[in-house]
Structure 1
């Protein structure tokens, strides 16, 4: 009836079940979103280096000097 139980038999019974795996649709959607952000960033950086770096722009350019 009340037979002694070893510590191993109690430990194996109390092992928690593995948590369920993540949602594969969510993982795929977040991977796609991250890929779009990375590609957009690379495109913007390429534009800045290849095109926009050849143009100078300023908001308040003026030459301060004496007018004759």
Structure 2
């Protein structure tokens, strides 16, 4: 169970990295880099999805 919490927050770290990458590319080239934006949004979605799923499983066990 401890590993799932670590991976939950790893999604946030990856989201921050992808969003930083998109912003830095936009500043340098003035073009939006959609793959980084989409991967950042997906990582944020996965964080909330995994957190909700973990809470459901925790409540089911009790």
Instruction: Give the TM-score range, shorter chain.
Output: 0.3 to 0.5
- Superposition TM-score, scaled by structure 1 size: 0.40
Greater C-alpha radius of gyration: 1
Q: Bigger relative contact order, structure 1 or 2, given CA contacts below 8 A and separation 6+? A: 2
- Superposition TM-score, scaled by structure 2 size: 0.44
Name the structure where helix makes up a greater proportion of residues. 2
